[in-house]
Structure 1
Amino acid sequence: MHKLLNINIIFHFTWILVAVSAFPDGAPVDACVRSRPNQPNHGQARPQPPEKNPYQLLQSSAHYGPGSQITVTIQGSDTFKGFLIQGRDVATNNWIGDFIATPNTKVHSECSAITHADPKPKAQATFIWQAPLNSPGGQVYFTGTVLKEYSTFWSDLVSQSVQ
């Protein structure tokens, strides 16, 4: 009986550790192509209502040329622990460009995305996105998810240009 009880306790403790530490180093690359793109796979948790979103996704320009860079910032009235942001071409809605890796971020070049690399609370995060060198230019927007906590997140955020 004690052995069964000990196994049960170990199982539940291990499950709690896994649940608490799930994706502390960022979203996996498959988050870009799930049936709910740009949304974390956090069990039964679903995005919060857009009208209660405390975060803004800002971009320094909507237009890009070959190799140009655009600054992208997440800011808000509350801290956040995680994010997954993608660059998309306005005309085609296809992934485009690459983010430049910075401390505490991880880049998914396969889908023009950047994610957090630690679960520490953040008041703001700023990234640099770079257009492809062989691109004729166009317009870009940024979209993704910001996580306040594991089960409290806002998805389908779309950037605003601050030109």
Structure 2
Amino acid sequence: MTPGHTGVSPQSSSTNPFTVTASSTLYSPGQAITVTIQGGDYRGVLLQVRKVGEDTPTGTWSNPPNDTKLLTCTNSNDAVTHANTNVKGEDSVYTWTSSENVGAVQIVATIAESFDVFWVQLVSDQVSGAVQGASPNILLLLLVALLVFLGK
């Protein structure tokens, strides 16, 4: 996810002004999660969602904001990138959906302020796959077991 900008290298992560944030700490198959980038204006972006600890993108991006476009890295529309170098900002909202629960994921980003000022491998907080198919009785039983365990 490093830009092919000849003669320049990524900035140190210690100088990164950006935060990549998901709208939820949980996702469910078919449920859209929105992603925003805080920290100022930027001109270039590459976003992927990856299972924690893996390099392959998962899920699908849709409805790219102005001045961005969908990209295929491994599967159709599994990344979103800039369509031009027009300024993008905190009002740009990116939409991601997974068709299955793959476990905990993170948004991985490359963000460029300009041709020679960019950061790579910026990572969001983890977003966990929601428990699917568990009945309320099982969830209640798990809660009671946890409370008993903590009480000892």
Fold match (TM-score > 0.5):
yes
Superposition pairs of residues 54-69 of structure 1, within 5 angstroms: 54-69=17-32
Q: Does 1:96 align with 2:58?
A: yes
Per-residue displacement from partner, 1:50-75 (whole Å, max 9, x unpaired)?
Answer: 11111111112243222121111111
TM-score calculated relative to the size of structure 1: 0.67
2:114 maps to what in 1? 149
1:39 maps to what in 2? 2
TM-score calculated relative to the size of structure 2: 0.72
Question: Greater share of strand residues, 1 or 2?
Answer: 1
Gap change, CA 1:150 and 1:130, over 3 Å in 2: same
Distance 1:136 1:84 in 2: 23
The RMSD of aligned alpha carbons is: 2.1
Q: CA deviation at 1:136?
A: 3.6
Distance 1:152 1:56 in 2: 16
Distance 1:41 1:91 in 2: 24
Q: Which runs of 5+ in 1 are unaligned?
A: 1-37
Q: CA deviation at 1:142?
A: 0.5
Percent identity of paired positions between Structure 1 and Structure 2:
34
Give the 3-state SS of the residue equivalent to 1:122 in structure 2.
coil
Q: CA deviation at 1:161?
A: 5.8
Superposition pairs of residues 1-163 of structure 1, within 5 angstroms: 38-76=1-39, 78-90=40-52, 92-102=54-64, 103-111=66-74, 112-124=78-90, 125-132=92-99, 135-160=100-125
Kept after mapping to 2: 8 A contact 1:82/1:148:
yes
Kept after mapping to 2: 8 A contact 1:63/1:138:
no
1:32 maps to what in 2? none
Moved more, 153-162 or 46-55: 153-162
